[in-house]
Amino acid sequence: MTQGQSQVKLLRIAEFAKVALTTPRALRLWQEKGLLEPDYQDKWTGYRYYRLDQIEKVLKIKWLQELGLGLKEIGEQGRGKVKVSDMVANLDEEIKLLQAKRDFILSFNKFLNSRRPALKKVWIGGWQLLTYKVKGSYYQINDYVKLLWEVADRSGAKFEPLEITFYQTPYFSPLEADLKIGLIIKGGRVKEEKLPSGFKVERYQRRPAYRFSFLGPYRFLAMVYRKLDLYFRKNKLPISPPVFEMYLKGPFNTDNEYHYLTHIFYPVGISV
């Protein structure tokens, strides 16, 4: 210990930890990570000693932890400025996500416990479609959609910026599903002779349907279909397959899965 240190009251680690409202274990860890060195450490006993004014450093470390930084990040921030505005922006995003999750939990719980889902009678169809027919897993739809868009982009035609998945069997069966993925052609012409196997251009005639609008993550769609299928069976409401879903908002046009908007259609009656 130097003469200058001997003239300043030094606290042993347990005393300093108590005054600084932390723990000896934390102080040892911070020293190991290079965040806070003791003012003096006895080379024979290993005892650590701290000055009272080192509390300011302790408070700064705690503050940075409150902002959500890990010890490694705190060490990096010590060599530069802490951008509190960035931290607040991240918190704002977390709050928005939690609020969206909260709203989803409440609305989905209401749906699951409802006797009658919020169905709306609409007219749909009258479309020229580029379709891709495949037998596979419902949970791989994103892969099928990506492949369809790749073929669509090479076709030279223009398409509506949304996808449709036709579920060829009468009721939801996710693993061995007969699926048909479609894009609505809005301009130009697709040369069918140049399409890969499984792809074709076809017309979907205009017809009435029941529509259910689902706001939430795709992973809950199986529960939605289960509830809707039971409702249609229980009430003996005839449907005209294929049932299909249309993705208005998804991973490509919203950054929050609780804001994914999917319309599910149960066609009824004949086409016109």
pLDDT at 170: 56
- Rounded to whole angstroms, the Cα distance separating 260 from 100 reads 11
pLDDT tens digit string along 232-252? 999 998 888 889 999 999 887
pLDDT at 2: 56
Mean pLDDT taken over the chain: 88
Q: Which CATH architecture has domain 3-77?
A: Orthogonal Bundle (1.10)
Q: Output the six-digit token pair for 148.
A: 């369809």
Residue identified by tokens 């190991």 is 32
pLDDT at 250: 87
**Per-10-residue mean pLDDT for the chain, 272 residues long?**
62 93 93 91 91 92 83 71 73 92 96 94 95 85 90 93 83 73 94 90 95 95 91 90 91 89 89 52
Q: Which CATH architecture has domain 121-267?
A: Alpha-Beta Barrel (3.20)
| b/e per residue 232-266 (b: at least 16 CB within 10 A) | beeeeeebeebbbbbbeebeeeeebbbbbebbbbb
- Rounded to whole angstroms, the Cα distance separating 30 from 105 reads 40
User: Alpha helices, DSSP H only, in the chain?
Assistant: 3-6, 13-19, 24-32, 55-66, 71-77, 84-112, 141-155, 221-234
- Rounded to whole angstroms, the Cα distance separating 101 from 71 reads 30
Q: Where does residue 8 rank: exposed (0-12), middle (13-18), buried (19+ CB within 10 A)?
A: middle
pLDDT at 172: 59
- The DSSP bridge partners found for residue 264 are 212, 245
What residue spans define the domains of the chain?
3-77, 121-267
pLDDT at 196: 92
Collapsed DSSP state (helix, strand, coil) of residue 68:
coil
Domains 3-77 and 121-267 share a fold: no
User: Alpha helices, DSSP H only, in 140-200?
Assistant: 141-155
- Rounded to whole angstroms, the Cα distance separating 180 from 260 reads 21
Q: Where does residue 182 rank: exposed (0-12), middle (13-18), buried (19+ CB within 10 A)?
A: buried
pLDDT at 103: 96
pLDDT tens digit string along 127-181? 999 999 988 777 788 889 999 999 999 998 999 999 999 987 655 566 677 889 9
pLDDT at 167: 85
pLDDT at 65: 85
- Rounded to whole angstroms, the Cα distance separating 135 from 150 reads 19
Q: 10 Å Cβ neighbour count for 83?
A: 11
